[in-house]
Amino acid sequence: MLHVWTVWTAPWQGHPRPFDLACLQLSVRLVAARGHPCVIFCDRHAARLLAPYKLPACLEVTLDAMPPHFSPQKWAAAKLDTYRRQRAPFLHLDYDVFLQADLPAPGPGISLTVQHLENLPENVRFYRSVSLDYYRDTGPRLGPVSRAIVAGQPWAYNCGVLAVHDQRGLAFLEKYTAAAWQAFEGMRTFSNKNCAFAEQMILFAMAREDGLAVRCLLPTDPVLHAQQAGRLGYVHLGGRKYTRREDSLRWVLEQLAAF
């Protein structure tokens, strides 16, 4: 299966970010070692930074065409751009997600796989704040999202991994990315948290609206989440990149040494 990544360096503000580049190297090499085709969608600056590493991946320079009025804080827009370029089933990985083994095959009728559903009380509080900010900013422009707000269930899918398995999933992806892009275009005010709204909350709301079968790779409960991730050989550094940066970097470099 095609595995893809997105590297947009505008949010890096000119800094090379060696930790992020190390993460990307490991993420790609783990997948390529199992024989999967790998493509990194990036801008020209990222392509120059990555060239010396000779990664077993094709570099597609697509992100220099990002709208110039998009603030670098709109980092999730680059992922949407990568999603909507896909024409066949694929698996998108955040650069800090590491697959020690292939993911289990989806069951019958499953069109999408995501990391997990974010519906813990603290998630609900966060997404309610995010959604109401957007709602006040731009009004009810997106039907499914507006209905989710009214229903009082501002849940979201975590897209550390997003796999699209079939043609129905690809058709849905076209609609979803158009709506999420519209959300980005409509934001008059902006903060980092709006990325979660545009990428993850709209995905949940529209999938539910369409009755699309979505598999959550990991459960929401933190303990069960960690146990299942361990069984699958699935690692997503997430916030640990910041709260435990030295330990995380040490782990990444140790894993890279095997290559």
What was the pLDDT predicted at 150? Answer: 65
Biggest CA pair distance of the chain: 51
- Judging by DSSP bridges, how do beta strands 214-216 and 58-61 pair with one another? unpaired
Tell me how crowded residue 78 is: count the other CB atoms within 10 A of its CB: 23
Q: For residue 37, what pLDDT is reported? A: 98
CA distance 98 to 105: 17
Question: What pLDDT was estimated at residue 168?
Answer: 97
Token pair listed for 144? 């499914």
Strand partners, 7: 42
Helices (H), the chain: 18-32, 44-50, 76-84, 121-138, 143-151, 167-186, 193-196, 202-210, 222-232, 240-243, 245-256
Say if CB 26 and CB 252 are below 8 A apart. yes
Query: For the stretch 230-254, what's the b/e string if a residue is b when 16 or more beta carbons lie within 10 angstroms of its beta carbon?
Result: eebebbbbeeebeeeeeebbebbee
pLDDT at residue 188 in the model = 66
Sketch the domain layout of the chain as residue ranges.
2-256
pLDDT at 109: 95
Residue pLDDT tens, the chain, 259 long? 999 999 999 888 778 889 999 999 999 999 999 999 999 999 999 999 999 999 999 999 999 988 877 766 777 889 999 999 999 999 999 999 999 999 999 999 999 999 999 988 888 888 877 777 777 766 666 676 777 666 767 788 999 999 999 999 999 999 999 988 888 777 766 565 667 777 888 899 889 989 999 999 999 999 999 999 999 999 999 877 767 888 899 999 999 999 9
CATH code reported for the domain at 2-256: 3.90.550
Alpha carbons 1 and 22: distance in angstroms, whole number: 23
CA distance 42 to 50: 10
Return the SS3 of 188.
coil
